[in-house]
Amino acid sequence: MRNGRGRKGTWIAGSLLALATLAGAQTAPMTHEEAHRRAEALLKQMTLDEKVGQMNQSAGVTIPGLGSEKPDALITQGKVGSILWLIDVKEINRLQHLAVDKSRLHIPILFAFDVIHGYRTVFPVPLGMASSWDPSVEEQAQHLAGQDARAAGIEWTFTPMVDIARDARWGRMVEGAGEDPYLGSAMARAQVRGFQGTSISTDSILACVKHYAGYGAADGGRDYDSSYVPEELMRNVYLEPFHAAEQAGAATFMSAYMDLNDVPATGNHWLLTDVLRNEWGFKGFVVSDAFAVGSLVTHGYASDPQDAAYKAAMAGLNMDMASLTFTHNLAALVQSGKVSEAQIDAAVLPILEAKYDLGLFDHPYVDESKVDAVLSRPEGLTLERKLAGRSMVLLKNEHQTLPLSSSLKKVAVIGPLADSVKDIEGGWTVEGLFGGPSKSHPVTVLAGLKTRLGAGAEVSFVPGPPLSRLYPSMFDEMSGKKPLPPPTAAETADWVAKAKAAAEQADVVIAVMGEAADMSSEAASRATFDLPGIQQQMLEAAASTGKPVVLVLENGRPLDIRWATEHLPAILEAWYPGTEGGNAVADVLFGDVDPGGKLPVSWPRIAGQEPLYYNHNLTHEPEDRPGFTSRYWDISSKPLYPFGYGLSYTSFKFANLRLSSKSIQKSGKTEVSVDVTNTGRMAGDAVAQIYIHQRYGSASRPVRQLKGFERVTLQPGETRTLTFPLGKDELSFWSPQTKVWAVEPSTFDVWAGEDSTASLHAELTVTE
């Protein structure tokens, strides 16, 4: 059944009813078939203007610099299908009343917002959640976020972002699941399940898979820049998580901003119609990214706004986000015969269906009295702390520096992020999005450490100067805020001396450093990966005392931590861990939680290595052989830490890799099994990872490709046998020569282990 409406229930299903009661909604008994029938009937009553109205998503707030107006007049004329960027529930209800009471056909508005990693309870940023290598982390987080959003009047979120990011200069890496299509697909499916549940109803919100497609391949890692991606790379890598999300039933897609191979994604027929609808059978609707229809003129693709509306509609776009280009031009295009009314009908139908599926016609309003109770549910914070702990990656731990002893008496905490409430939750928080006050109470690392250590310990704190930057962040720019200037030489010397003095007095130093939350994400690319500001100087000063320094990173992309890797005993990657982040960091630092996360990206040494990814082809002898090889003369071309890497407080042994059949026909299947043993003295989490390589065929294939993974908790001494399938889904690829997906006869290497450099090996033969 399409759109996942017929999928079997997941563990989540049971809890849906409870929230529906809490939020005052009732489950809608409507089947999708009924929704479809009603949508068709409604469409028959609509004028052309009303149809075009459903294809318009208006801005619900005035955004400085972007000139959006209040949508009241358009709403009463039936010219607004959806509204975005509005979370004030009173205003949501007011506008909904306008639509339901005052517009001719009383069609409710679909309210949309970027609920990216939580509503009031903010979960780790998506790159962090992907580091858990546990799709249930995403599913649980997005389920709670979706419930919160629905109770607060948001029925549609612009999530998941499933763009493959092979280049950490690109700021939006933080919003996705990293570089790998297999891991990214698993995280994409989990998020769709989390938001939409088993079927779209009064209890779910619509997911929106973005940014379709190829956005992460931006030239030079500069956000919005052109992408040039050949079809084989699109199909084998960039499109994979989109397809996975579509198969999982995602109701909506968002077209990307950039040109894909010179054709803007928002006017790209190949993407929006040939692949999405004709090949994959997508039956939902596609919204453009904000202002992207109007921007087709900026791209030099459309001659004027009417041409932009024409090209976007003909490519297969259903809804125009915020540019009003459809509103002002589509009806004229129909009247002149350039666009048929049947095309408009086809574009509008899935929008109306979604409104029926969601139960909006029966329950259009928010119960304002219940919103706060839902958003402040304590179970949200408990869940967030647990998921944040599962998302952290231990990069280094020498001399058993970690876990820390609970009886520490003197701890120095240094770094501008250690007590920064606005950074611990990362970017794209709902309540803080337009600089609004967040009603969550984020726990910083400093606060978490103090709570964990209790009154018996002395905790000193040297923040250093706030992080400065060349340009203001996107939101600061909109509100006219200037970036802070860098510290003077005298201020720098003073902070560095203070960091050193604090370290001298302490038993251990916890340095909480990285990037401010707005230094990654949209319009936040970087050309260097150094620790911004004077963080590096403070770190070196603290380490020069000989005291153990633990570096806790808060960041949205890998950074240049070569010095730290060489000189510090312990490094914990916390990403932006969310509302309970500080407590979760303390849980891991003190060993209450074993760090079991793994890197979803290859960690570069410096920015000059980018794009850097493990699943590349081998086009010459490998780097470590003598002779002419593909390498730099000034630095290793290998990552500092490989894809899939992460330590634990215990150790694991992988053994006995075996295949149920060592030779299969190309239509066949085999199973790969491996025994994983906890060889240490603590319980801990291992992530078993399976990689393959096709040795020859109709095209060169990557040196390794992830094709299976599972995160398991093992007690000391415990052995678990894990089994993974290898068949059509894992072995096939889209060949640029045959132009089809197929399994080819070949020899395949199979590896199992703890990261993408795993050495435990087996061989599989695939015959005709």
Complex with ligand NOJ: residue 159 or 602, whichever CB lies closer: 159
**Which one is catalytic: 180, 203, 223, 289?**
289
How far, rounded to the nearest angstrom, does the alpha carbon of residue 750 sit from its chain's CA centroid? 29
Q: What is the dihedral of CA 379, 384, 385, 390, to 10 degrees?
A: 130
Tell me which long-range contacts 451-458 makes (C-beta under 8 A, separation of at least 24): 451/583, 451/586, 452/406, 452/583, 452/586, 452/587, 452/589, 452/590, 453/406, 453/408, 453/411, 456/409, 457/408, 457/409, 457/410, 457/411, 458/409, 458/410, 458/411
Contacting ligand NOJ within 581-640 (CB under 6 A):
none
- Angle (CA) 276-282-287 rounded to 5° is 75
Per-residue x/- marks for ligand NOJ, 276-305, CB under 6 A? -------------xx---------------
Contacting ligand NOJ within 333-362 (CB under 6 A):
none
Nearest to 549, CA basis, from 418, 665, 382: 418
Shortest distance in whole angstroms from residue 159 CB to ligand NOJ: 8
Shortest distance in whole angstroms from residue 303 CB to ligand NOJ: 25
Complex with ligand NOJ: residue 265 or 588, whichever CB lies closer: 265
Complex with ligand NOJ: residue 171 or 442, whichever CB lies closer: 171
| Residue 108 phi, psi (nearest 5) | -70, 155
Complex with ligand NOJ: residue 357 or 522, whichever CB lies closer: 522
Complex with ligand NOJ: residue 114 or 573, whichever CB lies closer: 114
Q: How far apart are CA 274 and CA 252, in angstroms?
A: 16
Shortest distance in whole angstroms from residue 641 CB to ligand NOJ: 28
For residues 596-612, one letter each, b for 16 or more C-beta atoms within 10 angstroms of the residue's C-beta and e for the rest, the string is bbbbbbbbbbbbebbbb
Complex with ligand NOJ: residue 19 or 256, whichever CB lies closer: 256
C-beta of residue 12 within 8 angstroms of C-beta of residue 19: no
Shortest distance in whole angstroms from residue 263 CB to ligand NOJ: 19
For residues 555-572, one letter each, b for 16 or more C-beta atoms within 10 angstroms of the residue's C-beta and e for the rest, the string is bbbbbbbeebbeebbbbb
Other beta carbons within 10 angstroms of residue 492's beta carbon come to: 17
Shortest distance in whole angstroms from residue 731 CB to ligand NOJ: 34
Complex with ligand NOJ: residue 109 or 383, whichever CB lies closer: 109
Shortest distance in whole angstroms from residue 114 CB to ligand NOJ: 5
Q: How far apart are CA 496 and CA 462, in angstroms?
A: 9
- Decide: helix, strand or coil at residue 253: strand
- Decide: helix, strand or coil at residue 229: coil
Beta pairing partners, 288 = 255
Complex with ligand NOJ: residue 184 or 639, whichever CB lies closer: 184
DSSP readout, 616-685? ----SS-TTSSSS-S--SSS-SS-SB-TT--B-SS-EEEEEEEES-SEEETT--EEEEEEEEE-SSS-EE
Contacting ligand NOJ within 635-674 (CB under 6 A):
none
Contacting ligand NOJ within 723-762 (CB under 6 A):
none
Complex with ligand NOJ: residue 353 or 522, whichever CB lies closer: 522
Token pair in block for residue 401: 């520096």
Shortest distance in whole angstroms from residue 428 CB to ligand NOJ: 8
DSSP conformation class of 423: H
Question: Is 210 one of the binding residues for ligand NOJ (CB under 6 A)?
Answer: yes
Per-residue x/- marks for ligand NOJ, 57-96, CB under 6 A? ----------------------------------------
| Residue 492 phi, psi (nearest 5) | -60, -50
Contacting ligand NOJ within 403-422 (CB under 6 A):
none
262 in catalytic set: no
| Residue 707 phi, psi (nearest 5) | -135, 15
Q: How far apart are CA 618 and CA 639, in angstroms?
A: 16
Complex with ligand NOJ: residue 223 or 580, whichever CB lies closer: 223
Shortest distance in whole angstroms from residue 113 CB to ligand NOJ: 8
Nearest to 117, CA basis, from 133, 129, 105, 106: 129
Complex with ligand NOJ: residue 223 or 730, whichever CB lies closer: 223
Complex with ligand NOJ: residue 240 or 289, whichever CB lies closer: 289
- The only residue of 158, 475, 733, 734 in contact with ligand NOJ, by rule CB under 6 A: 158
Token pair 């053994």 in the structure block, residue: 655
Shortest distance in whole angstroms from residue 321 CB to ligand NOJ: 7
- Residue 274: partners with Cβ closer than 8 Å, 6 or more residues away: none
Shortest distance in whole angstroms from residue 474 CB to ligand NOJ: 9
Shortest distance in whole angstroms from residue 351 CB to ligand NOJ: 17
Contacting ligand NOJ within 459-518 (CB under 6 A):
none
Sheet holding 508-514, edge to edge: 393-397, 570-573, 549-554, 508-514, 410-414, 458-462
Complex with ligand NOJ: residue 60 or 684, whichever CB lies closer: 60
Beta strands in 271-342 (DSSP E): 285-288, 320-321
Token pair 């919103």 in the structure block, residue: 371
Q: How far apart are CA 83 and CA 66, in angstroms?
A: 16
Shortest distance in whole angstroms from residue 266 CB to ligand NOJ: 12
Amino acid identity at 724: F
Q: How far apart are CA 570 and CA 564, in angstroms?
A: 9
DSSP readout, 374-411? HHT-HHHHHHHHHHHHHH-EEEEE-TT--SPPTT--EE
Sign of CA dihedral 452, 416, 600, 276: positive
The alpha carbons of the chain give a radius of gyration, in whole angstroms, of: 26
Size of the site for ligand NOJ (CB under 6 A): 6
Token pair in block for residue 716: 């000391």
Beta pairing partners, 573 = 393, 553
- From residue 716, how far is each of 61, 345, 488, 719 by CA, in Å? 55, 62, 53, 9
Amino acid identity at 592: D
- By beta carbon distance, the residue nearest ligand NOJ is 158
Shortest distance in whole angstroms from residue 210 CB to ligand NOJ: 6
Contacting ligand NOJ within 92-121 (CB under 6 A):
114
Contact positions vs ligand NOJ (CB under 6 A) = 114, 158, 210, 289-290, 522
Please identify every residue annotated as catalytic: 289
